[in-house]
Structure 1
Amino acid sequence: MVMGMASILSSLNGRPYAACWLVLIGYLLDLADGAVARQLNACSALGAKLDDFADFTTFGIATSLLLRTPNILDNILCMCYMLSVFIRLCFFSSGIPFMYRGLPCIYSSAILACLSLLTGGNMAVLRLTAVAMILFMVSQTLYPHDRVLESQAWKKVVYAGGIIMVFCSSFPPVCLYYLLWSVSYILFPMSLWSCKV
């Protein structure tokens, strides 16, 4: 949630570069928070609600602000993106254990943040990508809820690589790394990211 709030402030202060980085750091933290809570035996109903608030702050509000311009249509797209994240978080339960209905907003946010950094905030690319991500999030497609830090060793290596890339690399390789990671989840959810693999 702190990363999301900091990203919002960065966007409002005209610093989209920092806003994107904060969303990507939020991506890493979101993948770790459940594993940490389970390790500390600190799971609770309140924690689950706070996780949804943090997700909406970072992957809803903060990410949608990457789409904001003085153009009224961009602002409508910004609101539509935020609403799709809200719908996704409210109705994600598929009734099937370890499965989500609709693309988890963490992946759509990572894709938007990476493309914003790689293209220098090219609005044509961001608009098209945002529309595609909205459709993926509100779709009825099933996606696995894989606990990356509590799964196969290679997934832990991918996560560790994400941390190393953020702190030790220049931004084009980092963006490509996160972009490939997120797109692989969209294209190969069951064959790569299912907890049954």
Structure 2
Amino acid sequence: MNRKGRSASKKQSLGFFQCTNKIFLTDEATGQQIKEFARKNAANALSIANMVMGMASILSSLQGHHHAACWLVLIGYLLDLADGAVARRLGACSALGAKLDDFADFTTFGIATALLLRTTDLMDNILCVCYVLSVFVRLCFYTSGVPFMYRGLPCIYSSGILASASLLSGGNLPMLRIIAVAMILFMISQSFYPHDRVLESQAWKKAVYAGGVAMVFCSSFPPACVYYLLWSVSYILFPTSLWSNKV
């Protein structure tokens, strides 16, 4: 092969390697971008999943599927406890994430939970509206100004109590009305409650959460409802001694 042929061959080989290197670098950069996108939006995905559970619960209530509506709220309960922990773990806290979390909470623990009380009776509908408004007030205006503390009962626990009690009682309306009024008063109260970072605290709290996940697969059995009821009631009765954020 003459010199010109060897030179052309070298140029072609060099061009091939440069092209291959560019493709490899592009694929690597794309992979990094995908990983970064996943890191930043993992918690947002959990918040959106919580919102979807709330919307599905609303539709179930409107169609008369009471059992499914209650369990969808309880699944939202687990997702809400996870999204903040995931955001802090991945260093992905953001204003958008906070807004998504509030929207999801309002959907699942406000509207969807209130519809568990809905009947054709006017007073029950008024109670539903009052419950939704109390969740709205709790989410919008009850910042405590004290680190790691809430002012007013977090709406997730009032929803957990209502959904569990509704399942255990078969939708006993007189009892649910009393519980709903009590939960409204707890949510708009001036009492302080600890920030319960369940997945970032003691091992037994993580075990409680894991038990809650397991109970989802036992949704046909009353003990599963009792589990969520005791979990939620314990936060109201022993907020500081049990649920303060002690690592």
- 1:177 to 2:217 alignment: no
CA distance in structure 2 between the aligned counterparts of 1:57 and 1:33, rounded to whole angstroms: 15
Report the more deviating stretch, 39-48 or 167-176. 167-176
Structure 2 residue matching 1:70: 3-state secondary structure: coil
2:201 and 2:246 in contact (8 A); partners too: no
- 1:15 to 2:65 alignment: yes
Alignment of 1:113-192 (within 5 A): 113-168=163-218, 170-192=220-242
- Equivalent residue for 2:146, pick from 96, 116, 126: 96
- 1:67 to 2:102 alignment: no
Alignment of 1:45-64 (within 5 A): 45-64=95-114
- TM-score (normalised: structure 2): 0.78
Amino acid at match of 1:84: S
CA RMSD of aligned residues (A): 1.0
Amino acid at match of 2:131: Y
- TM-score (normalised: structure 1): 0.97
Larger radius of gyration, structure 1 or 2?
A: 2
CA distance in structure 2 between the aligned counterparts of 1:43 and 1:106, rounded to whole angstroms: 20
2:135 and 2:155 in contact (8 A); partners too: yes
Alignment of 1:74-89 (within 5 A): 74-89=124-139
Deviations 1:105-148 (A, max 9, x none): 00000100001111110100100000000000000000001210
Structure 2 residue matching 1:146: 3-state secondary structure: coil
Deviations 1:55-95 (A, max 9, x none): 00000000000010000000000000000000000122111
2:78 and 2:212 in contact (8 A); partners too: yes
CA distance in structure 1 between the aligned counterparts of 2:107 and 2:221, rounded to whole angstroms: 24
CA distance in structure 2 between the aligned counterparts of 1:112 and 1:151, rounded to whole angstroms: 26
Partner of 1:38: 88
Structure 1 residue matching 2:217: 3-state secondary structure: helix
Unaligned segments of structure 1, at least 5 residues = none
CA distance in structure 2 between the aligned counterparts of 1:132 and 1:15, rounded to whole angstroms: 25
CA distance in structure 2 between the aligned counterparts of 1:113 and 1:169, rounded to whole angstroms: 12
CA distance in structure 1 between the aligned counterparts of 2:212 and 2:246, rounded to whole angstroms: 23
What number of residue pairs does the alignment pair up?
197
Q: Sequence identity of aligned pairs in percent?
A: 82
Amino acid at match of 1:50: L
